[in-house]
Amino acid sequence: MARAGWRPVLRAARIGRIGVMSLPSDCLFCQFVDGSLETEVVGQNQKAIAFRDINPQAPVHVLVIPREHYVDVAALAAADPETLADLVALAQEVALVEADGEYRLIFNSGPTAGQSVFHVHGHVIGGTKLGWTPA
Ligand code: 5GP
Ligand code: ZN
């Protein structure tokens, strides 16, 4: 009987660990949304904001994030697909203004893929001819 409860407990532990990494109260990007930390906002709509990456990898490097906290793009898509659509629309608006509408939109998901901030964000990258060397 002990084993019957083992898997759910493990799953809960994993969810808890991820939750600790990404609690909105100590989330950097939630603090940009609520204004308690300043950043260079370049666009916004009702559901999302866009701001410049502090360490740009291209002439245009803007992050688009939902105002609500979700850990990654899959979590956002599952919980609130309309907000994901608004996020993509904002990325497109920024790219139209800053990169003639030609850009890459990247969502790193998980540390191995390069995710370091666990509030979902799309990287809007453009303004130059882009290479294709992720590894
Ligand atoms: P990730 O590595 O999670 O896909 O992307 C996180 C991004 O957030 C990185 O590109 C990093 O440069 C950016 N970033 C980290 N800290 C700050 C910050 O304080 N302000 C801004 N504007 N960007 C940040
Ligand atoms: Zn957050």
Look at ligand 1, atom 15, and give the residue with the nearest C-alpha. Answer: 54
Distance (Å) of CA 76 to CA 4, 50, 66, 91, 100: 31, 16, 9, 16, 27
Task: Tell me phi and psi for residue 64, to 5 degrees.
Answer: -115, 130
12 in any annotated domain: no
3-state secondary structure of 37: coil
Ligand whose nearest atom lies closest to the CA of 57: 1
Distance (angstroms) between ligand 2 centre and the Cα of 12 equals 20
- Locate the ligand 1 atom nearest the alpha carbon of residue 55 and give its number: 12
Q: Among 37, 55, 106, which is best to mutate for testing ligand 1, by the most ligand atoms less than 8 A from CB?
A: 55
- CATH code of residue 83: 3.30.428.10
Ligand whose nearest atom lies closest to the CA of 50: 1
2 in any annotated domain: no
pTM over 0.85: yes
How many CA atoms lie less than 13 Å away from 127 in the CB half-sphere?
13
Contact 27, 69 (CB under 8 A): yes
116 in any annotated domain: yes
Low-confidence ranges of the chain (pLDDT < 50): 1-20
Predicted confidence (pLDDT) per residue in 67-78, tens digit: 999 999 999 999
Distance (angstroms) between ligand 2 centre and the Cα of 111 equals 16
Residue 53's domain comprises: 24-126
Is the torsion defined by CA of 123, 128, 134, 135 positive or negative? Answer: negative
Both structure tokens of 79: 């919980």
Total of domains in the chain: 1
1 in any annotated domain: no
16 in any annotated domain: no
Question: CA 117, CA 128: separation in Å to the nearest integer?
Answer: 25
Distance (angstroms) between ligand 1 centre and the Cα of 10 equals 30
